[in-house]
Structure 1
Amino acid sequence: MTKQPEHNLEHLIFEGGTQSVSTVSKDKGYVFRDFEISRIRSISDIIRNRPVVSTLIFSFFLTFWVASLSYGATFFTANEVAINLSPNLAIHAIIVGMLIYPVRMLWIPVVVFSLLFFLPFMIPFTGKPQWAFAPEVTTNITLFFFGSNLIAGGLAGLLARGLFSMSVARFAPRKADMTVILSLIGIFLIACLPAVFVADWMSLRLDPVQAIALGFNDNFITYGIERTIRGSVVDAAFLMAALQLPTARQIRVAVPAFLAYPAVALLHGYGFGGFPMLDIGLMSILITLALPMAVTPIVVIAGMSLYVGMTGEFLHAAPPMNSESGMLDIYSIVVLVLIVLVMALRGRERYERDQHLSSIRRLSTVRGFAGVGLFTLNVPRQALRLDPAGQQLVGLPGEVCTDDLLSRFRPDEQYLLRHAFESESHASITLLLRLAETLSSGDARVLRLHLWAEPTPRGEKVVYGLMVEVTEEYLQEQALTDALNELSLRQDRQKQLFSIVSHEIRTPASVLSMLIEDLETGQNSPQLPAQMREASTQLLSVLDDMRQAVNPEKNQPVAMVPYTPADVAERVRNTYQMLAKGQDVRISLKLGPGASAVMMGDSNRLKQILGNLVRNAIIHSQGSEIRISYRPQDDGSLLMPKGTCWSVTDNGIGIPLAEVDRLFQPFERGSADARNQADGSGLGLFIAKQAVDLLGGSIRYFPAPEGGAGYWICLPDVPASAKEQIADVPLPPVEMKDLSELRIVLAEDNALVAQVTSKQLSRVFGEIEWAENGREALEIILKNPPDVLITDLFMPEMPGDELVQRLREENINIPMIGLTAAVVGDDIQRFEEAGATAVLAKPLDVARLSVLLQETVDG
C-alpha cells in the first residue's frame, strides 16, 4: 500500500483547493485575441496613407462595374434614360466613398461619381445612339438626374457615416462594421426611393413625347423600386468588398471562380440552364461558401458585373410574361439578399475562427516559453498523452500509461495524484507535488498540477491537466519562511532587549533616586559620593554593553600595541577588586612563564574580555574566589610562543550542561529569563565572544577544577619586536593651548541636561551659550560664529545633523561635536554624513572633549 505523506508536507497538497467545473473560465482565448480595430477605420487609414494607389483601385473597380452594366443595358435592353438613372450605377461611388474616405478627402468619391455618372451618356463601340446626342436628353434633364443622384448618394453616405460613428462607440469594432454593412441596405432604400418618386413627379411636367422617349411610363415606379432594391443589396456588397484585403495567393485561387461567370453567360446565351438570374444567384452563393472570404465579395461583384454585361440580366425593364416569371424575379432579388447575408455570416465565422486559431497559436507560444506542459488522461483506458513541454518536464514520451507518470513522483506523494485521477468528482484540483528526480543541490523538483475532468460522450472519464515547474518559487518560499522565522526570532530578542533594558536601567536609576532623596533630606554619609558614582557607573556600563551588542560595527577598530600579560591581569584585578569585595569574593592571579614578556595585541579588548568574565563570575557564580590564569601556547618554546592562553575560573555553583550551548548568546545568564537575575545585562559573555572572534582567537567553556565555571581564551598574540617596543614609548606631552578662551554654543533641547553640561563645560572653557533647538543655534552661529559647536541629535525645529549640514553649506569651518545617548540606531552615521568633526557619547566626558579639541587645534 502506498505510504501516506509526511505531516510536514501537508502544505504542498491541494494548494489552491478545488473548484467546480462549472466555475472554470469560459474565456475561449479572449485574452490572446487580437485587439480589434474596425475594418472600415483600417481601410480609411490605408487610404489616408496611400491615397493615390487606393483611389486608383477604387476607381478601377467602380469603372468596371459601371461600364459592364452600361454595355449590358445598351445591347440587351431598351436602355431608357429614366430607368437607368434611377438610381445611376455610379451612386455606389459616393455612398461607399463617403464611408471609407477620411473627411478631408471626401471630395475624391464625389469626383469619381461625377466622372462615372456621365460614362453611360457616351458609351463607345455599341453602334447605337448615345444619350449625349439624344434630343430628349436635355441639359436640364441631365442636371436633374445628376443632382438627384448626388443628393441621394450624399444623404445615404452621411447616414452610413453617422451610424458607423455611433456603432463604434457602442459596439465592438467588428460588430460595428457588420451593423453598418447590413444597415446600408435600408439606408440606400431610405435615401434613393424618394428620388424615384421625385423623378416620376418631374416627368409630369415634361412634354409627353419627351417623357415617353426618356422612359417614363406606367411601370416606371415599379421598375424604379425594383432597381433601387437591387442597388441597395449591391451597395452592401460593394462596402463588404471594399473592406477586404486579399493576398495574391487568394486572388490566384479565385480566378477560376471568376471565369465561371462568363462561362455561365455563354451557356445562357446558347439556351442552356434555367431561369438566368436565379441560376447566377445560386452559383454566387456556392462561390461565397467555397472561396476564401477575403476574396469572395470582389469575385462575386466582378463576376456578376461581367455576367450582366454579357447577358443584360437584372437590367430588363419590362413586365414579366407570366406570374411564374414574376415570382422568379422576386426570388432573384431574395437570392441577392441571401448572397450578402451569407457573406456577412461567413465573414464573422472566418473572423472568429482566425481569432481562435491565433489565440491557440499565441497561447502555445507563451506556454512554451513558460515551460507549461499539458496532458490528457483517459482514466478507464489508463492512456495518457503529453505535449512536448510536458514530456520535457517529466522525462516521458508523448504517449504513456498512468503508472509511468505516477512513477516520476515521490512514492509518498503518488497516491495523491492517483486519487485525483480516480476521484468521481469532476471538480478542478490543484496539487503541488515533488518529483523523484532531484537537482544537483539535492533539492527536490516541485511541479504544480492543475487538473479537471469531463466525461466523454461514451461516459469515459477524461482528465485534462496542466503542469508547471515551480521548484525555484518553492525554494524561495522556503527561504522566505526561514527568513520570517529568523525575523520573528530577532523580534522576540528585541522585545527581550527592551525588557532587559527597562530592568537594568531601572535598578541603578532607582538607586540614584534614593541617594538623591538622601541628599534632599540631609542624610549625607561619607559613602554617598562613592555610591552615586557606582550607581552611575553601573548604568553607563549597561548602556555600553547594549551598544556593543547591538552595534558591534560601531566599536573601535583593532589596535595592536605592545603589552605584558602580567600588567593586564593586574589591571583587571584592580578594576574589579572593589566590586569583588562587596560580594566577599577574592580575585587571585596565577601567571605562568612568560607573563612578563612583551606581547603584541589589542590590550584594551583583552582587558574587556577578561573583565567581562570576571564581572560575570562576581555577579553570578555565588563563589568565594575567582582566578585569572595565563600561560603561553605550548609549542616547546617559551621565548617565541605561538600565542597566549588565558583562563578565568571560579569555585561557585557552575553552569548546568543543558545551558552551556546558550552561554554565548545575547541576553543569556544561565537562566531561561534574564530578568530573573539581579544584575548584569546578559551580554557579558556575548560581548567577550565577539571580541575574541574579532581578534582571531577562540573562547570555550569548561567545568572548573574548583567546582565552578571556567573559560579558556586563546589569542594569536605574538611577542613584540624591539622596534615595536620602542615605538610604544610615550612621547613627551604636548603643551596644551588655553581652552578657557574658547566660546562654545551648546544646542540641547533638554533644559536639565543643558544646565548640567554647561556647568561642566564652564570649568574648562570660556563663554557657554545655550540654544534650545537646532534652528535657534543656527541663527546664533550665523550672527556670531563661536569657536566650537556641541549639538544633540534629536531636537525640535531642526535636528543636530541638519544643523551641522546647514553650517557646512554656509562655510562655517569650526569644530562641530555631535552628542548621542542612543544605544541603538544610526546616530553616529547621521552626524558623520552631515560633516561633524567628531561624535561623543552622553554623558559628555569634558576631559576627552578637551583632548579632542586640542588635537583638532594642533592638527
Structure 2
Amino acid sequence: MADMHDEPKVTSRPNLEPPQRTPLFFGFVGGNRLAQLRGAAQKMPLRTLALFSILWLLWTTGYTASVLFQNTTCWPAVCTSPHAAYLVPVFGVLLLPRKHWWFMAALFGGLFILGLADSIYVPAIHATAVKIFVVLMGLLTLGLGIGSGLLAQHFGQRYGRSDPRVTPDLLIIGTVFLTTILNGLLLLFTGKVLAQGLHLPAEIMSTLGYGMELTAHIVQRSIRLALVGQMALVALCLPLTKQQKLLLLGVVPIFALLYWLQITEHMLFPELEVTVLLLAFANLMPPGVTARAILFGAVPFAFTTGVFTMPSLMPHHGLTTTEALSSILALVLAFNVAIRQVRSHEAQHLDEHLRRMEKIQGFADVGRFIVDFPRQEIVLDAAAQQIVSCPRVVGLLDFMNALRADSLSHLDMKNPRSFESAVLHLAACDTRAAQDLKVYIWYEIQPGQTLIGHGFLLDVTREQEREAKLRFALKRLEEESQKQGRIFSVIGHELRAPVSVMAMLIDQMNRDGDWSTSGPAMKQACDQALETLGNMRLSINPELNLPSRKLDLPPLHILKRLETMYAHAAQQAGMSLTIDQPNTAPANLRLDETRIQQILGNLIRNAILHSGGRTIRLSVQLRPKDPALCNQDAVLWTVTDDGVGLSPVDAAALFEPFKRGERATVDGSGLGLYIAHNTATQLGGTLRVAPNQATGTRFELHLPVTDPSPLDGDTIFR
C-alpha cells in the first residue's frame, strides 16, 4: 500500500471567510434573508426600485389584462377586496428601506388605478361619490398592506429566534399569508360601511357588487392572492441549487401542455385539476422549486386562460363545488409548502452544523470512516485522508499491514465486533513518521446481515509523545526522590558511629582530662565524619568536585604517596600494598594529582575493606591507541587485589550509588566507587573492572595522555 506511506500533508485549515454577497433577490445565505435583501436594497436603491416596479407592474398588468381579454367585468367590490396591487405595500415594507416607502405608495396608487381598468365600463363608477369611495378603498388597502408588512416584521424579529426550527422568514411568510386572507374580508366589510356612509343609492351598490353574497368569493380571491404572495416570498428566501434549476426547467413546460388542453377544451374542471397538479408538485419537489413553478408556470397559465382570474359571479349564487374544492386544496397547498419549508430549514440547519463540525475536524485532526467488512475496504472522509495520508478508499488488509505489530493485537478480524476503541500505531517509513491514532468504532447490521463499521479517527501522536515524556519525567522524579531518601538515610547511618565516638570521647575527656589518649581517636572520628559528608556532597552535586590542578610530575610519584598513605590501614587489615614498575611506566606527564589520587584512594580503601585478600598491587603504564578511549593514547592505572572477587550481580551494578556487594561485611555508604567513576568521566577517561579475573578484582583507570608543559608547575582551575 504505497499511499499509506506517503509523506503526510499539512492539514489545510478550513476557510472561515464570510460568504461573498450574491446579486439582489438571488441566493442570500443566512437565517433572515429578507432582512439581507432589505440591506442590499439600501446599498443599491436604483436597481432595487427599478426591479421592484417592473415585477409588480407585470403582475398587475397581467391580472387586469386577463380579466379584460375574457370580455367580462370584475365587480369593484370584488376587485378591491383585496386589490391585485395589495401585495405592493406588503413587499415594500419587507424589502425596501423606509426612506423609499414614498416610492412604494406612489407605485401602489398607479397600479391601483390600473387594476380597476376593467371597471371603467360600469356607468356608476364615474359618479363623484363613487370616485371618493374608490379613493378611500385605495387608501385603506394601502394602509392594510403596510400594516400587514409591519406586523410580519414584528413577529419575525421578536419570535423568529426563540425556536431554531423556525426562522424570522418563516414567521413573516406565515403572517403575510394569514393577514392577506383576513384583510380581504375586512376590505369587503369596510367597503359596505363606506358605501353606506357615502349614502350610495341601492342601484349603485348593486352595480358595484355589494348587492350579492360575496363572502365566499372574497375568501377564494384572498386565498389565491395570499398563495401568490407566499410563493413569491418563498422564492426570495430559498435559492435553487444547480440540480433544482434543472428540475424547474423540466416542470415549467408542463404548463404549456395545460394551456393547450384548456384552449382545446379538454379540461373539464381546470381550477381543480391545476390545483391538484400543484399539490402533487409540492409533495414531490423542494419548496423552492414548487414556489417558482407556481410563479413561472401557474400564474402565466392563469393570465392567459382566465382560469383563477375570471369572475364567475352570478346573482344570488355562491361558489361552485369545484371552486370550493380548489380553494380548500389551495389552503392545503400553502400549508404543505410551509411544512416542507420548515423541514428544508431544519435540513439546512443540520447541514450547516455538519459543515461546522467538518471545519472543527480540520482543526482538531478528527476524521470519520466506514469499514465495509464484506468488501474488506475502509472509506475515509477528507479529514481522515489528511490524517493518514491515504486515498478515499483503502483496502482493509493494506491498512492492517501499515500498523505496527503491537497494534494488531487489538484487532480480531474473525470477531470484529470485539473491537470498539484503541490506540493504533502506524509504523514509520522513509516518507512519513510513525503515528498514533485513536480509533472509536461502532457496528451496524444492515439488511442481508451485512456488517458495517462506523467510526472516528483521531491523531493523538502529540498526546502520546507528551504522555511518554511525562511518564519518563515522573519516573526520573521518583528515582531522584528515592535517591535523596537513601542519601539522607545513609548520612544518618554513616554519621551515627563517628558522632557517637566523639560524644563518648568528650565524656571521657571531661572525666580524665587526658588529651594524649583521646586526641588521636577524636581526630580519627572527625576525619571519618568529614569524609562521609564529603562523599555525600560529591554524590549529590558532582560538579562541586575538587578544582582541577594539573602538574608536570612522574606518575609513580602519585602511587608512592598512596602507598605511604594507606600502608598502615592495609597492615591493620592483614594486607600488603606494593607497586609494580613495568618498563612502560611513563617518566613525566601533566597530571591532575588531586583527582587521580582521589580515584585511586577510593579503589584502595575498597580493596582494604571488602576484598578479604592478602595483597594489593598498584601499577601505571602507557597504552598507545587504547581501545577503551577510542584508540587514543592513554595512561592505564590499575589497582589489583587477590581477594574473593566480584559476583556477576555485583559487577553489573558496581558503579551505581548506594550499591554494596552481596559479600560485603563492613559498613559503608556505597558511594566510593560511584564517586570514583564520575570523577574519571570528568577527566575524560573511564573506570572499569577488568573482565575474566580468575581470582580477586582488578580495577582499570584509563586516562588520556597529556604531554608535559614547558613551564613546570602550571595550574589550571575549571
TM-score, normalization by structure 1 = 0.64
Contact persistence 2:689–2:697 (CA under 8 A): yes
RMSD: 5.2
Q: Which residue is equivalent to 1:679?
A: 668
Structure 1 letter corresponding to 2:370: L
Q: Which residue is equivalent to 2:451?
A: 462
Q: Which residue is equivalent to 2:684?
A: 696
Shift, 1:445, TM fit: 9.2
Q: Write the distance in 1 (CA, Å) between the matches of 2:408 and 2:435.
A: 13
2:159 alignment partner, one of 145, 164, 167: 167
2:267 alignment partner, one of 248, 266, 273: 273
Q: Which residue is equivalent to 2:8?
A: none
Shift, 1:243, TM fit: 0.8
Contact persistence 1:562–1:725 (CA under 8 A): no
Q: Which residue is equivalent to 1:202?
A: 194
Structure 2 letter corresponding to 1:713: L
Judged with a 3 Å threshold, the aligned counterparts in structure 2 of structure 1 residues 430 and 726 are, in CA distance, closer, same or farther, namely closer
Contact persistence 2:410–2:422 (CA under 8 A): no
Contact persistence 2:370–2:378 (CA under 8 A): yes
Contact persistence 2:657–2:671 (CA under 8 A): yes
Structure 2 letter corresponding to 1:228: S
Q: Write the distance in 1 (CA, Å) between the matches of 2:391 and 2:222.
A: 68
Tell me the secondary structure at the aligned position of residue 197 of structure 1. Answer: helix
Q: Which residue is equivalent to 2:279?
A: 285
Q: Which residue is equivalent to 2:588?
A: 598
Contact persistence 1:702–1:709 (CA under 8 A): yes
Q: Write the distance in 2 (CA, Å) between the matches of 1:343 and 1:153.
A: 23
Q: Which residue is equivalent to 1:669?
A: 660
Structure 2 letter corresponding to 1:202: L
Structure 1 letter corresponding to 2:73: A
Q: Write the distance in 2 (CA, Å) between the matches of 1:609 and 1:454.
A: 72
Contact persistence 2:80–2:187 (CA under 8 A): no
Consecutive unaligned residues of structure 2, counting only runs of 5 or more, are 1-18, 20-28, 627-631
Q: Within 5 Å, give how 1:330-341 maps onto structure 2.
A: 330-341=324-335
CA deviation digits over 1:474-516, x for unaligned, max 9?
9857787667656654544344334334433555555555566
Q: Within 5 Å, give how 1:173-184 maps onto structure 2.
A: 177-184=169-176
Which deviates further from its counterpart, 576-585 or 236-245? 576-585
Question: Are 2:599 and 1:609 aligned?
Answer: yes
Q: Write the distance in 2 (CA, Å) between the matches of 1:565 and 1:85.
A: 127
Q: Which residue is equivalent to 1:375?
A: 371
CA deviation digits over 1:107-138, x for unaligned, max 9?
43564254124313146997955999833476
Q: Which residue is equivalent to 1:93?
A: 88
Tell me the secondary structure at the aligned position of residue 417 of structure 1. Answer: coil
Structure 2 letter corresponding to 1:678: D
Q: Which residue is equivalent to 2:415?
A: 420
Q: Write the distance in 1 (CA, Å) between the matches of 2:634 and 2:436.
A: 52
Judged with a 3 Å threshold, the aligned counterparts in structure 2 of structure 1 residues 543 and 567 are, in CA distance, closer, same or farther, namely same
Which deviates further from its counterpart, 644-653 or 473-482? 473-482
Shift, 1:348, TM fit: 4.9
Judged with a 3 Å threshold, the aligned counterparts in structure 2 of structure 1 residues 107 and 175 are, in CA distance, closer, same or farther, namely same
- Greater RCO (Cα-Cα under 8 Å, separation 6 or more): 2
Contact persistence 1:626–1:648 (CA under 8 A): yes
Judged with a 3 Å threshold, the aligned counterparts in structure 2 of structure 1 residues 74 and 712 are, in CA distance, closer, same or farther, namely same
CA deviation digits over 1:171-220, x for unaligned, max 9?
11655544543454334445664444333222221222354454433434
Structure 1 letter corresponding to 2:66: G
Q: Write the distance in 2 (CA, Å) between the matches of 1:394 and 1:358.
A: 27
Q: Which residue is equivalent to 2:713?
A: 728
Q: Write the distance in 2 (CA, Å) between the matches of 1:656 and 1:226.
A: 111
1:657 alignment partner, one of 616, 630, 648: 648
Which deviates further from its counterpart, 294-303 or 511-520? 511-520
Judged with a 3 Å threshold, the aligned counterparts in structure 2 of structure 1 residues 199 and 323 are, in CA distance, closer, same or farther, namely closer
Aligned length: 676
CA deviation digits over 1:629-686, x for unaligned, max 9?
32333799xxxx94322122345544333211110112212249x9x96333x22212
CA deviation digits over 1:383-414, x for unaligned, max 9?
544447899989999798x9999999879968
CA deviation digits over 1:559-582, x for unaligned, max 9?
654232123224444555676677
Structure 1 letter corresponding to 2:372: T
Q: Write the distance in 2 (CA, Å) between the matches of 1:153 and 1:578.
A: 122
Consecutive unaligned residues of structure 1, counting only runs of 5 or more, are 1-33, 732-837, 840-859
Tell me the secondary structure at the aligned position of residue 713 of structure 1. Answer: strand
Q: Write the distance in 1 (CA, Å) between the matches of 2:85 and 2:586.
A: 122
Q: Write the distance in 2 (CA, Å) between the matches of 1:597 and 1:524.
A: 49
Shift, 1:440, TM fit: 7.0
Q: Write the distance in 2 (CA, Å) between the matches of 1:49 and 1:506.
A: 94
Judged with a 3 Å threshold, the aligned counterparts in structure 2 of structure 1 residues 183 and 534 are, in CA distance, closer, same or farther, namely farther
Q: Write the distance in 1 (CA, Å) between the matches of 2:157 and 2:392.
A: 55
Judged with a 3 Å threshold, the aligned counterparts in structure 2 of structure 1 residues 606 and 411 are, in CA distance, closer, same or farther, namely closer
Q: Which residue is equivalent to 1:784?
A: none
Q: Which residue is equivalent to 2:108?
A: 116
Judged with a 3 Å threshold, the aligned counterparts in structure 2 of structure 1 residues 59 and 552 are, in CA distance, closer, same or farther, namely farther
Q: Which residue is equivalent to 1:328?
A: 322
Matched-pair identity in %: 22
Contact persistence 2:368–2:380 (CA under 8 A): no
Q: Write the distance in 2 (CA, Å) between the matches of 1:510 and 1:60.
A: 114
Shift, 1:87, TM fit: 2.6
Shift, 1:612, TM fit: 2.0
Contact persistence 2:582–2:621 (CA under 8 A): yes
Judged with a 3 Å threshold, the aligned counterparts in structure 2 of structure 1 residues 709 and 41 are, in CA distance, closer, same or farther, namely farther
Question: Are 2:288 and 1:297 aligned?
Answer: no
1:80 alignment partner, one of 59, 75, 78: 75
Q: Write the distance in 2 (CA, Å) between the matches of 1:683 and 1:131.
A: 128
Q: Write the distance in 2 (CA, Å) between the matches of 1:523 and 1:38.
A: 106
Judged with a 3 Å threshold, the aligned counterparts in structure 2 of structure 1 residues 691 and 145 are, in CA distance, closer, same or farther, namely same
Q: Which residue is equivalent to 1:563?
A: 553
Q: Within 5 Å, give how 1:46-85 maps onto structure 2.
A: 46-47=40-41, 50=44, 52-76=46-70, 77-85=72-80
Tell me the secondary structure at the aligned position of residue 698 of structure 2. Answer: strand
Q: Write the distance in 2 (CA, Å) between the matches of 1:307 and 1:262.
A: 8
Shift, 1:599, TM fit: 0.3
Tell me the secondary structure at the aligned position of residue 656 of structure 2. Answer: coil
1:629 alignment partner, one of 619, 625, 628: 619
Q: Write the distance in 1 (CA, Å) between the matches of 2:305 and 2:494.
A: 114
CA deviation digits over 1:295-339, x for unaligned, max 9?
432341244443343344434555469989522222222222233
Q: Write the distance in 1 (CA, Å) between the matches of 2:49 and 2:526.
A: 99
CA deviation digits over 1:249-289, x for unaligned, max 9?
86576456446546645653453412232233233334545
1:153 alignment partner, one of 128, 142, 145: 145
CA deviation digits over 1:406-435, x for unaligned, max 9?
9998799689624314xxxx7773466789
Q: Within 5 Å, give how 1:484-523 maps onto structure 2.
A: 488-508=478-498
Question: Are 2:98 and 1:106 aligned?
Answer: yes
Q: Write the distance in 2 (CA, Å) between the matches of 1:199 and 1:330.
A: 24
Contact persistence 2:251–2:293 (CA under 8 A): yes
Contact persistence 2:366–2:458 (CA under 8 A): no
Q: Which residue is equivalent to 2:697?
A: 709
